[in-house]
Chains A and B, each alone.
Chain A
Amino acid sequence: MQRIIIFLISAVCLFSSCKKGFLDKPPLDQLTDDNFWSNESNVRTFSYGFYPTYFTGYGAGWVWGAYFTGETLNDEFGETSPSQYPKVVPSTGGGWSFTNVRKANIFLDRLQRANMPDEAKEHWTGIARFFRGMAYYLLVERFGDVPWYDKAVPSEQEDSLYRPRDPRQEVMKHVLEDFQYAADHVRESDGQKGLTVNKWVVLAFMSKVFLFEGTWEKYHNVDQAAAKTFLEAAKWAAAELINKGGFSFNYTYRESFNALDLSSNNEMILYKQYESGQVTHTLVSYVNREGQTGPNKDVIDDYLCADGKPIELSDEYEGDKGIGHVMAHRDSRMAGTFAPDLRPVGYDRPAGTFFGASSTGYATLKFLNEEIMNDGRGLSNVNPTDAPIIRLGEVLLNYAEAAQELGGVTQADLDMSINKLRSRPGGNLPPLQVIGGQPAVNGKVYDDPKRDPTVSSMLWEIRRERRVEMSMEGVRDDDLRRWKKLDYMDMVKHPDLNRGAWIKKSDYPHLSASVIIEGGGNEGYIKPASVLRVIDNDRIYLLPLPLDQIQLYKDHGVTLAQNPGWEE
């Protein structure tokens, strides 16, 4: 019996000895909100979470970025089945998400806990405010008015959560404060140049964001005073960057889009690095052997002739019957963007070439890297070329446009912006001049006969420069929307949108029967689409809000207004 008792006592001791803290098992491989925010290094680590959201570049794997086919709603493509603006109000989702606003607000709040010097704290506060500004810019850009939150609201605070939409000019004033703070406090250099957010990245985006908002509010007549403030901010930010950032052009136009490594390209303010086997994209493949949606006649015709004049005015223009004529004596960026041959569906490939066919005959090659196009890296989803995120070229255009919108460009404005684009390595256009507010080259004022009469001739040329410089970069829809020019997308009013290259069927013995010639003859323009896109409603300028959110607000006694034209 004694032995039994000893046995039992020892067993009981064994059990009870483990008891203390036995049920306390904290996570082993996850930090928590309470212990994460200790130092600058962790704060920096958190900041990378914003990069893939805002800086998509050429995308990753099979997923597109905004470039080329990532944005099909534009007046550049000649699609066989033209993309349409949304027609239906979504029941849920629809892009109405404040995840990034919350993320930025939490970042802003928590980084104050980190143990770091004031300078660092101000830098990271600036970074957090920049990311919050970006989150709001992307919301306002799609939806217009949105509720403004400057901190992460706890889930119990219903009155704050169910905040009605604030007018966009109010929201963007807060965003301007964020950007201004960031511009003043973010370090000029922090980590690897071109791959981390620094003062210049902030300024570059500031010029983009406020040019957008300023022109939107001006042309949609939201608030003219606010529009002026925003345009001035855009112009100031661009000028700061141009004058102090030290960026310049040391490569030709196309080398900014097809390089395996952009680190030595002094035009890059921010770029996305791709590496074989690690992070790759599929954009080179789309302009290589895949069949592609080609550019239409409308964009092809917008390129100036090498004498700096529009095709209608230039003596050098050879007409559009044959690609050799089309490309002759044109802005060198044309050859940097489009292929020197026509590739209608069923064309005979010259020996040794493998390019895919194009819906319009014209083909884009801007993103093609000839060095890798025939090895594995130029195919499938393993393309390793680096992607520009924001570059000097765009900032120069932002500057010129903001200056023009604020009362007209001066020659000095043009010389520090557009003329730098024209004089980059490989550039062939004469400088743009302003004479009496009118555009001119070589001392002669000109006025494009195809100009939209509601746009002044100087602004027309600045917008043309932007369209050409940023062709196929996925910005065109935003530009048309902020200028309130979505009717440019109407294919009935603008027949050139549904015209491709001019061809003779007899030149292409194997031409596919699906290639239709306008008018049905044996020669003429390729007509890619048989059903046209018509723009008949202004509601498409803003996206509709999802129905569930409107209902949820309503259940809480608050009105979440639907965007105009989308109300049921």
Chain B
Amino acid sequence: MKTKYIYFSVFLLCCCFCVQNLFAQSRTLTGTVTDQSNTPLHGVSILVKGAAMGSTTDERGAFSLKVPDKAKILIFRYVGFVDKEVAIADSTSFEVVLEKDNKALSDVVIVGYGTQKRSDVTGAVTTVDTKVLRSRPITDLARGLQGVVPGLTITTPSGELGKNPSIRLRGITGSLNSPEGTQPLILVDNVEMPNLQMINPEDIEQISVLKDAASTSIYGTRAAWGVILIKTKSGHKNMPARVTYSNNFAYSQPTTLPKIAPAYEGAQMVLQALRRSANNPDIQSFGVLGMYFDSVGNQKIKEWSDKYGGQDLGPEMVEGRDYEIRNGNLYFYRSWDPLKMYMRDWSPQQKHDISISGGSEKTTYNIGLGYLGEKGVLKVNPDEFDRYNASVGVTSSVTDWLDVRAKMIYSSSLTTTPYNFGSNAFGPWYYLLRWPAIYPYGTIDGKPFRSAVTEVSQAHMNRDNNAYMRASAGATIRPLKNLSINLDYSYSTNNEHYHSIGGGTSGIDFWAGQLNYLDNYQSTSYNGVTYISNWDKMHTAKAFATYDLHLDDHQLKFILGTDMDLYNSWGQYSERRGIIDPDFGEIGLTTGDQFAYGSPGKTAGQQWPITQWSTLGYFARVNYSYKDKFLLELNGRRDGSSRFPTKDAWAFFPSMSAGYVLTEEPFMKPLKNTLSFLKVRGSWGQLGNQGVGEYRFLSTMASSSSGWWIGDNNEITFSTPQEVRSSLTWEKIATLDFGLDARFLDDRLGATFDWYQRTTSDMIRPGVTLPSSYGGTSPVRNYGAMRTTGWELTVDYHQNIGRDLSINAAVTLSDFTEKITKDANVTKTITSIYQGKTLGEIWGYESVGLFQQSDFDGKDGSGRWIPKPGIADQSFLEGNSNWFNFGPGDVHYKDLNGDGKIDPGNSTVDDHGDMKVIGNSTPRYQYSIRLGAAWRGIDFDMFWQGVGKRDLWPAGGGPIFIPGFSVAEAWYQHQLDYWTPENTGAYYPRPTSNPLNTFNFYPQSRYLLNMAYLRLKNVQLGYSLPNKLVSKLNLVKVRVYASGENLLTFDHLQIPIDPEVDYTKEQEASAGNAFGRVYPYRKTFSFGLQVTF
């Protein structure tokens, strides 16, 4: 590096000498050139107007130039910036600030297999300014992209560490038939990456999101749901080495948490509910998990709270004060706040990234290294997430016709979580929020009680290690002028190793009603060592040739190529019980039963299927442009996939797009100052979807454990073979897109609008509804169809005010709906998929309100309430219950069909009784607002993100949502507003045991969750040190900043959940009642530093 400086200085000196020789009468001008955010610009050309002389700036943006006396004006010119003319006058020192050229239209954007001028793009392509990822305490790229790209829906169902968000483009479902989900294809340097966790946001140079079929079709088979195209940073030729270091330190806190009802009030609600369900107003006591409640005890609970509430009594429990054994039963009086006790106030997170890049005449290189460390929310044995990223890329020109390149990307993450004595769906959050406030979290004689915290604190840590590695090599050959041939090969592999050491938990097991200290109260099945390993391999090869042809006003570009993927994955599970010493938790040091499973034999971990598939495709594309005014693109692809029977494996998919730049027309010229650019475009294209699940055309027989044991064997069995159709082929995804790009006011204001319709046809669906007497599942065929219709709008604005201040703003808004347009289901049960269904729709009753005493004419002889005339009969909704009878304080449902009784009819679309569609769980009107400003070295940016409309009726209910769902367990603070004859305007009905979809909690409008929200996703304030100071430190740039995530939220929720929370995968599968009791969502404060030298 030093030698380069010397060379450079020598060069400058030489210049000076030359200049001096040529112009006797001259003076030396010096100065620096920066951009608006005070970053020095290197390589800015400085020209003297009217003279053939000039100079360039160095790394620090400094320049020095001898000019003749008569020189009047200097011109500063830099790619991507507006030329600036500066009068010399009498000055000899200059501080020049160049303004970014916001003629974004001349930007080059990355598109499928190449780049394009933005003004020439005819498909629906959104580019992401990587600035949105800068300085944010986010753990992965997907969280950074949330709300940034209109049409891209990114959701995370919980705040759990290291979990991959769900990414969907233009719709949620896409196809009813994609077991892997319809995630857009993520391509990093043109090769697929399984998820966005594996790429370090700091390594990214450019991101394009290709949305319509015409843009994505060149990628074929797997690109049916859009493409997120990412280009990583690379070095630049003739650039000195530049090192950038940045860090971020963040502290986070849960956004919202449910609160358990105060002990006494909670017990009262339980008693009221139990009295009702047992038809016995005399019930004074109940028990849950060995904790007893009776009138004496409840009084003592109340006294305890009055006397000691809010005091720190230490963990040790005092008999008589905190608990009591009366009559052989255990009574607890002391209240605890487990969340407060066991949660950190602030959970830390840190990030460090270094990148080094540079280039010589022939070779460029880029090295990126990153570390992210995140700690969980619990105080004891917190979970942790660590990720290491490394990438190395080199490109070299071997000859004038051959470039070669190689790149390695490596990402390794380690998630450590305490061993879970239970299922993944019911973690500690579930249990901490499950029991009443008197659940004993203290100790007796220093010994802890059985509890989720005791279990976590004594648990060993599970280690889930994920490593992704990709090696690619490629070459570009240019045998002719305008012809280049690219050959690329990548090998990527993903390895997951999960290691858990079980064991036991010691504690006072009072669940059966006694203070019973046990060295281990867990099942022996937890006392084992488990290894789960999953690994996959993917080979990707691509070859394509590009030929450019320019004939006067006609520009043509041809691409012809082929690509292939070969994928294999494996998984295995091994476990052995009987750990000798938990500190040495390895299988070799165990003594008991051993178990081994290959996937899909056991799904305890996150096992991957043992599978293989391959695709092969040939593609061609022609781009045509006439005078930059008429634009046309044609694509064709022939694709083959191993997912279909040999004879149906191949299909052809065409696409086309066209654009017309009206502002290139002479008649538009007069408007140039107001309407600087206007393009209309349209596209249509079709792609195949092979993500339909594996071996659909074979009658496979999956093996599983039968649960019937003979000796030491859990006998294996096989599933019943199902009927299959031998002809199954691609699902076809066609997208029609119309768009408009416009810029106004000298390009300061811009707008992009797209309307699209995506039709999935030949969807693989159960063919016809078969009667139950068939006894199997209806064989699938290419039959169904669905349609996504939506639109997207982006508006951006920027303005420089004076020399130092610039402001910018951007707004996005998008919306879509998904509808089933063809299906063979004839029964049309409201919960099923049927033709005409809008996906996400929620059927339910309309609620009038809560019944009041005045709605009834007293009770009849058998104790049933008699509704007044005019009030519909709700007895059907009492189901098979022998105790529930609608009365005052219960939900009054509306008689929509006016037949005098409330019922769901046949629960079909044709006969749905009093039910109707009360809402929809699809997020509608997703929007974002970005506002930024820069003044001298100070920059400010805030980013709001929101969902305009979304409803949710949690399918599994759960006690957070439904009071009395698990009647004797915890009730919550927010449920205290319940109906009594005195509190007739309450939100919740009279306390009742309310199992799922019964009585007062049939899906209905009153308790439907409104999940719309507006959230300050990010706000940051940065300061770049002044150039002079930075130069003195021998640095290029220094910026310090503070940044916050999720700091403000506006929502309409009546229950204490975060509006972004949803069911996690594990909950969806088996634990609907755990809704709302998930790892908390967090708001984050952070600060950091960025240095370039």
Chain A positions within 8 Å of B, measured between CB atoms, are 1, 4, 7-8, 11, 14-15, 18-19, 22-34, 36, 42, 45-49, 51-52, 55, 60, 80-82, 84-88, 91-92, 96-103, 105-106, 110, 147, 149, 152-155, 161-163, 191-192, 195-196, 272-280, 288-291, 345-346, 348-349, 354, 356, 376, 379-380, 382, 509-510, 512-514, 516, 529-531, 533, 546-549, 551-553, 555, 560
What are the residues of chain B within 8 A of A552 when measuring CB–CB? 769, 771, 826-827
- Pairs across A and B, CB under 8 Å, 12 listed: A7-B475, A14-B541, A22-B642, A24-B646, A28-B612, A29-B599, A45-B716, A88-B876, A154-B723, A161-B771, A376-B521, A510-B327
What are the residues of chain B within 8 A of A376 when measuring CB–CB? 518, 520-524
CB-based contact B287/A103 at 8 Å: no
Known A98-B772, A101-B775, A289-B513: A81·B720 in contact at CB below 8 Å: no
Cβ-closest 3 pairs across A and B? A102-B775, A510-B327, A98-B775
A-binding segment of B360-368, B705-713, B834-842: B705-713
CB-based contact A163/B773 at 8 Å: yes
Instruction: Choose one: A80, A106, A155; the contact of B778 (CB below 8 Å).
Output: A155
CB-based contact A24/B774 at 8 Å: no
What are the residues of chain A within 8 A of B779 when measuring CB–CB? 155
Q: Is B717 an interface residue (CB 8 A)?
A: yes
CB-based contact A81/B328 at 8 Å: no
Min Cβ gap B967→A in Å is 12
A26-B284 Cα distance, complex, nearest whole Å: 65
A-binding segment of B272-280, B670-678, B1003-1011: B272-280
CB-based contact B610/A33 at 8 Å: no
What are the residues of chain B within 8 A of A380 when measuring CB–CB? 511, 523
Min Cβ gap A87→B in Å is 5
CB-based contact B720/A102 at 8 Å: yes
What are the residues of chain B within 8 A of A42 when measuring CB–CB? 718
CB-based contact A22/B520 at 8 Å: no
CB-based contact A49/B721 at 8 Å: no
CB-based contact B908/A11 at 8 Å: no
A147-B773 Cα distance, complex, nearest whole Å: 8
Task: Determine which residue in A26, A32, A48 has the highest number of CB atoms from chain B within 10 A of its CB, and name it.
Answer: A48
Known A24-B642, A382-B523: A99·B775 in contact at CB below 8 Å: yes
Chain B residue nearest in CB terms to A11: B487
Chain B residue nearest in CB terms to A98: B775
Instruction: Choose one: A274, A514, A549; the contact of B771 (CB below 8 Å).
Output: A549
Chain B residue nearest in CB terms to A35: B701
Q: Is B751 an interface residue (CB 8 A)?
A: no
CB-based contact B880/A279 at 8 Å: no
Min Cβ gap B997→A in Å is 12
CB-based contact A196/B523 at 8 Å: no
Q: Is B1021 an interface residue (CB 8 A)?
A: no
CB-based contact A23/B641 at 8 Å: yes
Min Cβ gap A22→B in Å is 6
CB-based contact B706/A36 at 8 Å: no
CB-based contact B280/A279 at 8 Å: no
Chain A residue nearest in CB terms to B578: A277
CB-based contact B642/A25 at 8 Å: yes
CB-based contact B775/A531 at 8 Å: no
Q: Is B479 an interface residue (CB 8 A)?
A: yes
A22-B614 Cα distance, complex, nearest whole Å: 7
Number of B residues contacting the other chain (C-beta, 8 Å)?
A: 106
CB-based contact A45/B715 at 8 Å: yes
Min Cβ gap B681→A in Å is 34
Q: Is B719 an interface residue (CB 8 A)?
A: yes
What are the residues of chain A within 8 A of B707 when measuring CB–CB? 51-52, 60, 279
Min Cβ gap A144→B in Å is 15
Q: Is B973 an interface residue (CB 8 A)?
A: no
Instruction: Choose one: B521, B612, B702, B882; the contact of A25 (CB below 8 Å).
Output: B612
Min Cβ gap A356→B in Å is 8
CB-based contact B708/A280 at 8 Å: no
Q: Is B256 an interface residue (CB 8 A)?
A: no
Min Cβ gap B9→A in Å is 41
A39-B692 Cα distance, complex, nearest whole Å: 32
Q: Is B562 an interface residue (CB 8 A)?
A: yes
A31-B700 Cα distance, complex, nearest whole Å: 6
Chain A residue nearest in CB terms to B862: A531
Instruction: Choose one: A19, A273, A354, A356; the contact of B616 (CB below 8 Å).
Output: A19
CB-based contact A103/B642 at 8 Å: no
Known A27-B611, A28-B612, A45-B716: A15·B543 in contact at CB below 8 Å: yes
What are the residues of chain B within 8 A of A80 when measuring CB–CB? 278, 280
CB-based contact B612/A161 at 8 Å: no
Q: Is B294 an interface residue (CB 8 A)?
A: yes
Q: Is B285 an interface residue (CB 8 A)?
A: yes
What are the residues of chain B within 8 A of A8 when measuring CB–CB? 477, 485
A86-B881 Cα distance, complex, nearest whole Å: 9
Q: Is B596 an interface residue (CB 8 A)?
A: no
Chain A residue nearest in CB terms to B905: A91
Instruction: Choose one: B326, B521, B775; the contact of A510 (CB below 8 Å).
Output: B326
Instruction: Choose one: B525, B695, B720; the contact of A27 (CB below 8 Å).
Output: B695
Instruction: Choose one: A82, A106, A529, A531; the contact of B720 (CB below 8 Å).
Output: A106
A453-B1084 Cα distance, complex, nearest whole Å: 79
Q: Is B829 an interface residue (CB 8 A)?
A: yes
A26-B695 Cα distance, complex, nearest whole Å: 8
Chain B residue nearest in CB terms to A61: B707
Min Cβ gap B691→A in Å is 15
CB-based contact A32/B700 at 8 Å: yes
Min Cβ gap B829→A in Å is 6
A552-B771 Cα distance, complex, nearest whole Å: 7
CB-based contact B695/A512 at 8 Å: no
Q: Is B985 an interface residue (CB 8 A)?
A: no
CB-based contact A36/B710 at 8 Å: no
Known A19-B616, A147-B773, A382-B523: A4·B278 in contact at CB below 8 Å: no
Instruction: Choose one: A81, A98, A549; the contact of B883 (CB below 8 Å).
Output: A81
Q: Is B380 an interface residue (CB 8 A)?
A: no
Chain B residue nearest in CB terms to A556: B771
Min Cβ gap B468→A in Å is 22
A1-B520 Cα distance, complex, nearest whole Å: 77
Cβ < 8 Å to A, chain B residues 873-888: 876, 879-883
Instruction: Choose one: A29, A49, A55, A548; the contact of B717 (CB below 8 Å).
Output: A49
CB-based contact A516/B282 at 8 Å: yes
Min Cβ gap B345→A in Å is 35
What are the residues of chain B within 8 A of A106 when measuring CB–CB? 720-721
CB-based contact A15/B562 at 8 Å: yes
CB-based contact A276/B710 at 8 Å: no
Known A25-B612, A91-B904: A153·B774 in contact at CB below 8 Å: yes
A514-B294 Cα distance, complex, nearest whole Å: 11
Instruction: Choose one: A4, A84, A100, A289; the contact of B477 (CB below 8 Å).
Output: A4
Q: Is B577 an interface residue (CB 8 A)?
A: yes
A37-B1043 Cα distance, complex, nearest whole Å: 64
